[in-house]
Amino acid sequence: MKAGSIGTRIAATALLVLSLGSCGLFGERGPVRVAAIGSLDPAANPANGELSAPNAALLEATSQGLVSYDGEGQIDVGLAERWTVTADGRSYIFRVREAKWSNGDKVTAENVAAILRGYLGSRSKHVLRDDFPEIETIKAMTDSVIEIRLSVPQPDILELLALPSMAIVNRGMGGGPMRPKKQGRAMLLTPVADPLAEDPEEAEAAAADPAASIELVGVTAPRALARFKNGYADGVLGGRFSSLPYFVASNIGRSRLIVDPVPGLFGLAFVRAEGFLATDANREALSRAIRRDRLIDAFGLAEWQPQVTLRPALYSRDGGPAPLIPAWADYDDASRLAQAKRVVDAWKAAGRTLEPLRIAVPDSPGGRILYAYVAADFARIGVPSRRVGMGREADLKLIDAVMPNDDAVWGLRRLSCQRDTLCNAEARRKIDEAVAATDPAERARLIGEAEAVLARYAPFIPLATPLRWSVASQRLTGLRANGRARHPLNHLIAAPN
């Protein structure tokens, strides 16, 4: 089936779903109503793996970490009211503010330290466990002071600690800034009054104001957009490439769409290196064959940009090595097609059979469009393929990940020796050496060498930057595009100047 016909069927389905419901706007003084795309589990715990968009929003509001993100994607206070870094850059010392768990018990430094150690322990399923290789110890120095000691300086550790996955959850309880209450299928979140406020009564009154509350639901993308269009939601969170066709079909004004300019990885990782995929040149030929501009244009969003490098360009702004651009990127589509086809034809000339490649992408409108364009480009060079689900056995699997901080090593580490990637021992060794390097020039050299090894090995087909989008009514003055794609619920309405 052609990609165009797929897009037409998806649009028709989405328009039917989004036309359901009746109009009826809520007043500005009621709770802020947010529809997040995905499933909402009030008992979600970051120790159990990756969080859905609704669960991440819930934890960010009710169980914040030592630090947090504000509405601009900048580091803000969390459970820690302040922090310092020692002169050698190896110790981060946090002072825990006066706070209580949802059962009324005091939050102590030892509570927080023990939970962090559990998140990063060897048996943990925490999604960020491997992103903290520099941590030596996490300990409570007093009842209200925590030290995180590093083996080497890591200036970007605060960005990791601020992520919703690092929210401190103590036996299902959080430390604010909001308290959750189940309300049907939704969660009603109300602010916790500041215990140190100069006027406690005024603080209690402000926290009790219905307009300060958040009603959060987790639903499918069509239902989230239908809620917004029909006035039953002030905003939609958690949009990705996979659900973008629903927005396109919704006829919601383009001015309501918020697209976050996030760096990261979006492309197809080779899961195995057997048969045709056992050769570096064959894997690189598949990457050459993709017409990225054509693929991205199919989604109709100018903010979404193609990417050909193995890691984002963000780090180069800080004086580090610029990402390595593959040599084939200088050729036009026709030349790259011819180059890739010669490689495939040479492999087939030996009488070998090329079985269809299994490509794992989300079973969603965006996933089907993505596969259709990739499959068409593979077919042009004589490589058959078929689409499989993300949980099925595959030869290539989509990676769609936002860079969690500004560490240049992150992208290389994510593509090397993970459970869903190939493993090159030389690249892994250089990556480990770069992590341990204390001299900036030496670290930059090792990063460049590791990237060069991975580029020759070709473990990944980069396609584009990650896509993260939201929808906001005029009420949500604090929901603004930022480079972290962070939109904390308690910052959705900007404070008056």
142 and 288: one domain?
no
User: pLDDT digits over 433-481, tens only?
Assistant: 999 998 889 999 999 999 999 999 999 999 999 999 999 999 999 999 9
Contact 444, 412 (CB under 8 A): no
Strands 135-140 and 32-37, by their bridges, are: unpaired
CATH number of the domain to which 185 belongs:
3.40.190.10
Which of the residue ranges 88-97, 193-202, 363-372 would you say has the lowest mean pLDDT? 193-202
272 and 154: one domain?
no
Residue after which a domain boundary falls, among 174, 190, 215: 174
In a domain, 17, yes or no: no
Pairwise pLDDT comparison (177 vs 255), residue with the higher score: 255
This model's pTM is above 0.85: yes
102 and 112: one domain?
yes
In a domain, 56, yes or no: yes
| Adjacency order of strands within the sheet including 460-464 | 385-388, 357-360, 396-402, 264-270, 460-464
250 and 162: one domain?
no
List alpha helices for 40-142, DSSP H: 53-62, 109-119
Q: What is the pLDDT of residue 202?
A: 62
415 and 308: one domain?
yes
Residue 145, exposed/middle/buried by CB under 10 A (0-12, 13-18, 19+)? middle
304 and 449: one domain?
yes
200 and 170: one domain?
no
pLDDT interval class at 210 (50, 70, 90): confident
Residue after which a domain boundary falls, among 121, 156, 174: 174
End-to-end CA distance of the chain: 54
In a domain, 313, yes or no: yes
448 and 340: one domain?
yes
Backbone phi, psi, residue 65, to 5°: -90, -165
DSSP string, 218-281: EE-HHHHHHHHHTTS-SEEEEEEGGGHHHHHHHT--GGGEEEE---EEEEEEE----GGGGSHH
pLDDT interval class at 93 (50, 70, 90): very high
Strands 80-85 and 91-96, by their bridges, are: antiparallel
In a domain, 29, yes or no: no
Pairwise pLDDT comparison (321 vs 30), residue with the higher score: 30
Q: What is the pLDDT of residue 199?
A: 58
In a domain, 23, yes or no: no
Contact 274, 408 (CB under 8 A): no
490 and 460: one domain?
no
pLDDT interval class at 192 (50, 70, 90): confident
Residue 32: pLDDT over 80: yes
User: pLDDT digits over 45-75, tens only?
Assistant: 888 888 999 999 999 999 989 999 999 999 9
pLDDT, mean of residues 164-192 = 91
In a domain, 349, yes or no: yes
Domain span including residue 252: 35-62+176-261+467-497
In a domain, 314, yes or no: yes
Residue 2: pLDDT over 60: no
In a domain, 387, yes or no: yes
- In angstroms, the Cα distances linking 228 to 76, 215, 442, 468, 488 are 29, 13, 51, 18, 18
- For the chain, the domain total comes to 3
User: pLDDT digits over 236-278, tens only?
Assistant: 999 999 999 999 999 999 999 999 999 999 999 999 999 999 9
366 and 455: one domain?
yes
